[in-house]
Each structure stands twice: as C-alpha cells, then as structure tokens.
Structure 1
Amino acid sequence: QENQCLHMISGCPHARSMFTYSMRRGLTHAKLKCLKHLLQVVAIKQLNRDGNQGNKEFLVEVLMLSLLHHQNLVNLVGYCADGEQRLLVYEYMPLGSLEDHLHDLPPDKEPLDWNTRMKIAAGAAKGLEYLHDKAQPPVIYRDFKSSNILLGDDFHPKLSDFGLAKLGPVGDKSHVSTRVMGTYGYCAPEYAMTGQLTVKSDVYSFGVVLLELITGRKAIDSTRPHGEQNLVSWARPLFNDRRKLPKMADPGLQGRYPMRGLYQALAVASMCIQSEAASRPLIADVVTALSYLASQIYDPNAIHASKKSSTCGLVFSL
C-alpha cells in the first residue's frame, strides 16, 4: 500500500519534507524504505500504536540517537511525533540486517564469507564499545541481536533500534535494576532472572551473535532436534572438546575459513557467554581480539599454515 506522510526533520524545526513510502507491518513496528525527494534515500520505522511500550521506546530512541554518534551506530535523520503518529527516520542501510544474511537464505543467495563475518563482528563490537566506554554515562544496549545489526555498503555494520537502551550504573553502583526486556535467546541469564542489568549483559548477547556468525545457527531454532534448539546450550558442551570445534563452523562456509581463526573466534564467543557475568570480558578486550581476526584476511585459494597450527595464541581460553 502506498502512503504519504508529512515529516518534521530533526535539527530543522521549520522544514517539512514529503515522503512516499511502502509499508510493511511488523509486530511492534513497521519498517519502511522511503525516498526523500531530491535529497537521499532513508528508512522509516513506524511504531505500532497498539504497542504498550511504543511511546516510551520512541522517546528513548530519539534521545539516544540524538546524543550518540559513532560510525557503527545508525544515524537518525529525523522523526515525527504528530498526534498518535510516531515515526523515526534513519539513514538507509542497503544490505538489510545481519539476520537476513545468516538465516533462511534463498537458494540464489551466497552465504557470508569468513572475512566478512569477522569484519561485521569487529564493527558491531566497536559500536558496543562506544556505548559502554565512550558514552557518559555508559549506555547498555539491552537488545543486541542479529536483526538489530544493519549493514551498509561493503557490509559495514551499524547498531540500530535503541528503544530498549538504558543508562548504565554510575558512581559506586554495580548495576541498574529494570523490568526484563529484550529477546529470548539473547538475554544474559542473570538479567533474565533478577532484572539486574550491567554492560556484561550486552557482552553475553554479543557472544550469542558471534556464535550465530560462526555457526550459521539461530539463537533459538524450534525446528532443530531437542537439545539443539538453544544455540548457547548446544555450543557449551562442544567447547570442552577441541576435536569437535571444527564441527561448529557454518556448513555454508564449506570449509573456507582459517582453522586457527575459527578456534580464536570460538574462544572469544565462549568467554562472552560465560554464565557468571564477572567471568565475561570487557567489550574493549573483545574489540581488540576481533579487530585482529578481521585484519587477518583469509584467502581460500592459498595454502595456510594456520590450518595445521595448534590452538596456541588464543586470545581467551576455551
């Protein structure tokens, strides 16, 4: 269905632009591709009027993205708050979400190669690092998942959808207490059980996404056999046997990955999904590890000594 809406551009309160867009409704919002005449292509998120959290999430997202700016965070172009209408206008990310490139691929779509996966992982980690370490006060994303990582040209990743973000603890506080929100399969266990939220909660969620990138599996997949439906529950026993680690690689990679790089990436994921929050690494350490892996360009046509190497030199222990 084709609609038109009058949109107020943020930062220019007297300027109005006409948008034409094609609507596709979701459970809590509709995501739209929109042509802003003569200027740029943008994307619109329309919050569902029926959603109880809708108005609060709209305000949080406008506030967060108006104050936070980083190359790995999506840019907010503008917004509309007219009556019951709530629209958020973002830069358009032409390659869609990471989820679109990992799961339920059509036959004519090539799986992501190893180098691209590590590039996306490192970039997404840098976005989290900005929220945790550079923003003041720190920001806890609270909804880190593959569908919220959007991909621009050359698979440059940006975090999106900040409606559930929370300001982190300050001073001598160790956590913030809040109602449990987020997506099943990505929530850290201590947050799901107690509502106590820390930056390490995001690190856990990041570990789940890193496992998705490595294995090609969904965080929760009810179509798989019992015992394999939860990605973390399936992966944890395999970490204890080095001989089983190659079996965790996405079959879509068809063996085209560096064995040592696979072990190192799995080591990072293993540390991120530790049951105890204190045992998880800081996101800055994750950035260091993944930036190194992303810099080691794998050539599937070359013979790599890394295929024959041991697991020595891992950034974290399995």
Structure 2
Amino acid sequence: MISFQRLEFNKWDILSGLIDENLIGNGGSGKVYRVITKKGQRVAVKSIRHEQKQGHGLMEKQFIAEVKILGGIWHNNIVKLLCCIRGKTTKLLVYEYMDKQCLHKWLHGKKKGLTTQVLNWETRLKIAIGAAQGLCYMHHDCSPPIVHRDIKSSNILVDSDFNVKIADFGLAKMMASEGDPETASAIVGTFGYIAPEYSSTRKVDAKSDIYSFGVVLLELTTGREAVTGNEDMNLAQWAHKHQREGKPAADVLDEEIKDLSYMEAMITVFKLGLACTLSSPSSRPSMKDISQILQRCSDNNHMSSECQ
C-alpha cells in the first residue's frame, strides 16, 4: 500500500469493502466500488484486474501513469488519489468519493430512469468552468504538461454541491514537451470524443483534450449524447452540420432548460463547443482561452455583448 497523505484507514478496510453490493461502476479498465471505512469515511476504489497475461503490460502502464500523475498533483478540480494498493492479480486505486457521481448521469440519466432531476443552466455552466479549470491546470501549470486523453462526461465527477473534479487518468501521459506529442500504440479515448486527426496520426496532445472537452460543451448545451446508436453521425458532426446549413444556434439548445435570460450564454458556450471541435487542431482555442470565456459568461449572468 502506497499512500499520498495521512489516512485513517488501512488496506484491510478497503479489501473488505470490495463486495458486489458496493459496486457503483464497471468500465473498460476495471470495476469501481464505494467503500465506507470503519471510521465512516466514504472512498471510491477502482479495481484493475489482469488475469490474462495478454493485457498485463497495458494495464501496468495505465496503473503507473495514473499513480504518477495523481499522486503528484493537487488541484480543486482534479480528483484526489488517497493511496494505491498493489497485489499479484489486482491493483487498487483509492480516491476521494464524489457523492453525485458523474456528469453523464445528470445530463442523460433521465431518459434511462437514473434520475428525475434536470440540471439547470447555471449548474451546467458551473460544471463547465470547473472542468475547464482542471484541464487548464494540467495543460498550462504542470511541468511537463499533462494530457488526459479520455475527457468525456462520465469522467467529470460532481459532489453534493456540483463542484467538479476530473477523474480517470488511466490514459493520461506526461508530455515530454508541448511540441512533441506522444504517439499512442493502442487506441485511446472514447468513440464520439476522439479528435478526428487521431485516426490518421495516432498522435495525442493538448488539442486532442480540447476537442473532447468541446464535445462535453455540446452535451451541456444541447442535452444530446456524444453518440447515439441510431444516428449516422456523432454529436460534433451533427452540430457542425447544423451550423453549415445556416440554422439558428438557438434551435439546438436543450429544450428542457431553454430560458430567454440565459439564451446568449448558452449560444456562446455552444459556439465555443464548435470552436473546440474544429477539424484543424491549430484552429482550436487553448484551455486558457476556453476557461476565460466560460468565466466571463458566468460573471455576466445577463450576458451583455462582452460574452459574445
């Protein structure tokens, strides 16, 4: 067990909590449990198993990447890694627990019966700003810069007050320098969020994260999912097609929260999502610019011309 701060639990507290009734997620890289320690602290435990030798190398790399990055950074909008536990066939990452789980559930869960609540615009904007600040820190304040590589609404977590933390750094890479994008040997990211240049170059850099974040901004403003099974185009393609056809941006905004007093802000954030998902990486704004635009929208709730 390697801890990154003083803990009030031991590895047996964690291991005894890895039971089916505590399971809250099951993703590509492992299962996630909510564990309550003897002292009543709630933590999220990500379990990565590697019984098959075939995938061991990649899993080991993902585990080491996540531990190195999260153990070494501290930011309000990045999930805290409390400790990690290594075993022969399983590795465990123990994080702070986020009560409200992920943004994807809050944006799209109503259709699936997971929630009855609709996130209002102010909450959505707060989430966009928090996630942008976390990414801004990774891209501009870390040395070397960190690229997440799998930004999506299910990796943006929220607490009981809808404060945001970015999670799941299994695919993140420390970048040697901004001018030297890492070339990925295996496909990384999630369909619908992957930047188009990735398929031809297999290169991932900060602009790839910005594309993925742009898709999240389009989700926040339109209420649509990044990919829906019965459509022949993903959300970014659909939004750009809408714009090319000269249709008003107001037509695509989420009907459940459309409100005249927030219309300008919603359109601004929708257009920012379009800018982030431009096919040319060099045309996309930086995370600093994105963060500033979102903050201006928030500061100016009645949306004067400053937020155009």
Q: CA RMSD in A?
A: 2.4
The residue type equivalent to 2:182 in the other structure is V
Alignment of 1:174-253 (within 5 A): 174-179=180-185, 180-223=187-230, 225-226=231-232, 229-240=233-244, 243-253=247-257
The gaps in structure 1 that reach 5 residues or longer are 1-6, 298-303
Residue pair 1:169, 1:198 contacting (<8 A) in 2 also: no
Supply the distance in 2 between the matched residues of 1:220 and 1:38 (Cα, whole angstroms). 42
The residue type equivalent to 2:241 in the other structure is P
Supply the distance in 2 between the matched residues of 1:214 and 1:296 (Cα, whole angstroms). 18
Deviates more, 1:245-254 or 1:120-129: 245-254
Q: Percent identity?
A: 33
**Distance 1:68-1:238 versus aligned 2 partners, 3 A rule:** same
- Corresponding residue SS for 2:32: strand
Deviates more, 1:53-62 or 1:121-130: 53-62
Supply the distance in 2 between the matched residues of 1:294 and 1:258 (Cα, whole angstroms). 10
- Corresponding residue SS for 1:154: coil
Q: What is the match of residue 282 of structure 1?
A: 286
Residue pair 1:200, 1:280 contacting (<8 A) in 2 also: yes
Supply the distance in 2 between the matched residues of 1:185 and 1:71 (Cα, whole angstroms). 27
Residue deviations 1:201-256 (CA, integer Å, cap 9, x gap): 11111000110111111111113x44xx4101110022246652112111221546
Indicate yes or no: 2:97 matched with 1:92: yes
Deviates more, 1:111-120 or 1:45-54: 45-54
Residue pair 2:297, 2:307 contacting (<8 A) in 1 also: no
The size of the alignment, in residue pairs, is 294
**Distance 1:108-1:135 versus aligned 2 partners, 3 A rule:** closer
The gaps in structure 2 that reach 5 residues or longer are none
The residue type equivalent to 2:69 in the other structure is M
Residue pair 1:114, 1:256 contacting (<8 A) in 2 also: no
Q: TM-score, normalised by structure 2?
A: 0.87
**Distance 1:158-1:256 versus aligned 2 partners, 3 A rule:** farther
Supply the distance in 2 between the matched residues of 1:15 and 1:232 (Cα, whole angstroms). 45
Query: By how many angstroms is 1:68 displaced?
Result: 1.1
Q: TM-score, normalised by structure 1?
A: 0.85
Supply the distance in 1 between the matched residues of 2:245 and 2:161 (Cα, whole angstroms). 36
**Distance 1:164-1:280 versus aligned 2 partners, 3 A rule:** same
Residue pair 1:8, 1:17 contacting (<8 A) in 2 also: no
- Structure number having the greater helix percentage: 2
Query: By how many angstroms is 1:28 displaced?
Result: 2.8
The residue type equivalent to 1:99 in the other structure is H
